[in-house]
Chains A and B, each alone.
Chain A
Amino acid sequence: MTDYFTVFGLPRKLTVDADALQRRFYELSREHHPDFHQGTDAARQAEALARSALVNRAYRALRDPLPRVEYLIALEEGREVREGASEKPKAPRELLQEMLEVQEALEEARAAGMTGEGADRVREERARLEARYAAEAEAIAGRAAEWDRLVDGGGDRKPLLEWFKQRLATRAYLRTVIDDLSDALGEREEDHVPHRRH
């Protein structure tokens, strides 16, 4: 299957000119969108549908920095990728101590019926985790240029790839903990699983 970087004629790098990407996306859409192949035969229409679906998926994967890193990792590892996968990530070891504290705060708050000071402490913990969640994104984006230099210079990319993977895993784990805290506080909108766009 055609990889998404190739769809846009891009090298496998993490620095992408967002405006240029969008322009190219619009151009490719004008070429392949089913709207412009309405009068053609069934085979042509099916092809336009498939091409258009590929362009849309490629744009979605490359548009934002973090999904771009996720896609790149999968590509480098030759894995099938799927957006929005909902397996629960495992707790990274470095977070163990913090998680124990969060757990403790949560249990105390539960014992007190999730009101007053206990609930406030859970909210504080959540705010701290949210800040950390945002910081992880910045940290990942911060090393994108380093990756691109390795691609150009031909150095060993493995260690950085591993580092990206760990950061993403940590981030995914933080997300589930934040959501669980919101659930416990009864502050999550029932019909709305948080938005997955990073």
Chain B
Amino acid sequence: MYDTLILGAGMSGLAAGIRLAHYDQRVCILERHTTVGGLNSFYRRHGRNFDVGLHALTNYAPKGDRQGPLARLLRQLRLRYDDLELAPQTGSRIAFPEVTLRFGNGLDLLREEVRRQFPDQADRFERLVASLAGYEDLGRAGTERSAREIVGLLLTDPLLIEMLFCPVLFYGGSRERDMEFGQFSILFRSIYLEGLARPRPGVRQVLKLLVRRFKQLGGQLRLRAGVCRIVLRGGAAQGVVLDDGTEIAARCVLSSIGWRETMRLCGVPAGDLPPAGQISFVESISVLDVPPARLGMNETAVFYNDSPAFHYARPDEAIDPRSGVVCSPDNFDYPTPAEENILRVTCLANYDRWAADAMRS
């Protein structure tokens, strides 16, 4: 009998497993896929490593910081800062027609850019920064408000609003167009006030550390172990049934697979649940024969949009190339050049169309 079963070996599931194992619990993580990582995974093809998801780790803080989310995370998981092999970004850019806002780690560059490009918004921008919810406020009453509504009260230039929303939505928007203000605050902080960095070996470095720590503590990790049902007794989760029919009992079940999917596994009919989110991405990863900088791509990430209005919504077509994120793992401030020659382009996509195409082929 396990103390806790965890559904999903993404970063949340692995981190939760480590925390519980520190507290001497018998924990087993169940993962349907053949490998760990979930949305932040990786694969190897033709002798090359590719990351899925992770462009950069947000919430960058230099070594020695003790208070930010990165420091707290490291401490709670008992990892060393240097184990992550973090390299900070070289600089990023939000590119709309005729206006560009550059930003780096820490607010200074973005603040200066806003002052220069949107002088009449400079004071308002400061007010926006001051009014952001703190990390500890996330999920508290009062933050359940539309970010667009609140930001729209503080800033008056629609172009600046769209530009600031662009990276925030791309990096953290699971719903179309808007997000809840608490979530917006967290992302705004993590991207603009703190910043971006990358573990030199990519996301596998983070996952390797998490898996190693979890196993050292006696935790069990089962891959190819999809959960098809959560067993309830008297309304409380008592265990799970795996895809192959095996039943596993536990005092407690933690799920990291999303609220909707979790409720479905508890037996709630799909029709009684709100529809799943509509946001999907397609990313193309190009291996170039020159460093991306030689083609003019010097930045870590460029968030582009081809018109003054930013459409963060599911496209009718397979892909919406009007906006996206162009980024390169080469463009971080590494101790020695990366020479990966990789360029990634992420755009909004229509999941149903891709799924139908995959079925046909």
A-B interaction: no
